[in-house]
Amino acid sequence: MRTLDDLVAEGVRDRFVLVRSDLNVPLDGYTITDDGRIRAALPTITRLREAGAKVVVTAHLGRPKGGPPPGRDPVESLSPVAAGLGQLLDERVLLAKDVVGESARRVAEALRPGGVAMLANVRCDARETGDADERAQLAGEIAALVPGGAFVSDGFGVVHREQASVVEIARELPAYGGDLVARETEVLRRLVGDPERPYVVILGGSKVSDKLGVLSNLLPKVDKLLVGGAMCFTFLAAQGYDVGGSKLESDQVDTCKDLLGRYADTLVLPTDVVVASEFSADADTRTVSVSDMPEGWMGLDVGPETVSAFGAALDGAATVFWNGPMGVFEMAPFAAGTTGVAEAVAASSAFSVIGGGDSASAIRAAGLDEGRFGHISTGGGASLEFLEGHVLPGIAVLEPSRHSARPGEGT
């Protein structure tokens, strides 16, 4: 993979550089509630600005269905993101009103060396996620906005997607991996290669089915795998416990029984949970043993005994990977498990990797110093697919020798 170092060494002054960033941040109206992905994009954009490039950023927000930019709809408009990026850069970021139309052309042409512009939400053009021919057509039109330019892939959260601004654009322009993508790839290859041991993985989230690939791929390789979140209740049901009204994937119980049988010494499950009478921050709550779930009540967090046990399992660990919250951390009564595990990971002397998504948001919500973690990924889904052993098309396209790799082959 050619990197940003290579591009800067070649020279970018007064040259267009198209940067694919992942700026899909959570919004409350027009307010960004977690700007972690914007801050993660800053190093690459800043380096290019300082080198005198004319930087054009392409990104998405939400899941628009295609068609023209939806104006003021904050779910589908990048205007709050452009404003947030501009504040962090202390520089106005020009925002086009379309992806490849007249506004995009004017905005790109107006750029001066060191300037930054942003195209409209790329997913507002249905070709971004269309068939191969449609994606190639859109990529060609985007490339035409930056004549003589280069492409920097720096949105790790989208490199597992076959999309025009991720894959096809890298065939239209000289392509390089940005600092973020290079770092993410380096860290995850360390986890799937020969990580320093003991190696402990913590998995949470709602569904076993969503994590089955990474469970199957990592269980033979790790020393301990700690299971929390709603997915733990399917494992507990497989052990014969009555899980009350907790979320349960009945069709995965036999799979969990098989995993428990083969990896009894590796899997660590909760021993106590916080249960609620209903799914509400105002519900009645109790902390109970997993063997004493009240009928009809639902488990919404792991309990303090489990947090302590998970913390003990991290003692002496050399490598830790964590993906997925331990409970419904967005509601205060059910946030203690996730916060407690986050604090235990932060206190560990291990090289720790946070697998993006809700885990990264939980760390910031808890006010923990991000410097206490070895690496915080920006791509939850991409991280998991990498650890499952899949080829990520947005990475493979940056590595010409891997272009012939078939989906499902190793990374």
Q: Where are the domains of the chain?
A: 4-177, 185-388
User: Would you place residue 389 in the very low, low, confident or very high pLDDT band (cuts 50, 70, 90)?
Assistant: confident
How is residue 63 written in tokens?
Answer: 């899941």
Spell out where 154-253 has E strands.
175-177, 199-203, 224-227
Hey, which CATH number is domain 4-177, 3.40.50.261, 3.40.50.720, 3.30.70.260, 3.40.50.1260?
Answer: 3.40.50.1260
Specify whether 247 is catalytic: no
63 is in an annotated binding site: yes
228 is in an annotated binding site: no
Indicate whether 408 pLDDT > 90: no
95 is in an annotated binding site: no
37 is in an annotated binding site: yes
Tell me what the mean pLDDT of segment 209-218 comes to. Answer: 90
Domain 185-388 sits in CATH at 3.40.50.1260
> What confidence tens digit (pLDDT) does each residue in 126-173 have?
999 999 999 999 999 999 999 999 999 999 999 999 999 999 999 999
Is residue 327 classed as helix, strand or coil in its secondary structure? coil
Specify whether 37 is catalytic: yes
Q: Which long-range contacts (CB under 8 A, 24 or more apart) does 328-331 make?
A: 328/279, 328/300, 328/301, 329/301, 329/358, 329/362, 329/365, 331/280, 331/281, 331/300
Given the residues 357, 379, 380, 394, the one annotated as active site: 357
Specify whether 357 is catalytic: yes
Do 185-388 and 4-177 have the same topology in CATH?
yes
* pTM for this prediction: 0.85
- Rounded to whole angstroms, the Cα distance separating 18 from 143 reads 8
Specify whether 221 is catalytic: no
Q: β-strands 27-28, 31-32: how paired?
A: antiparallel
Given the residues 15, 20, 36, 37, the one annotated as active site: 37
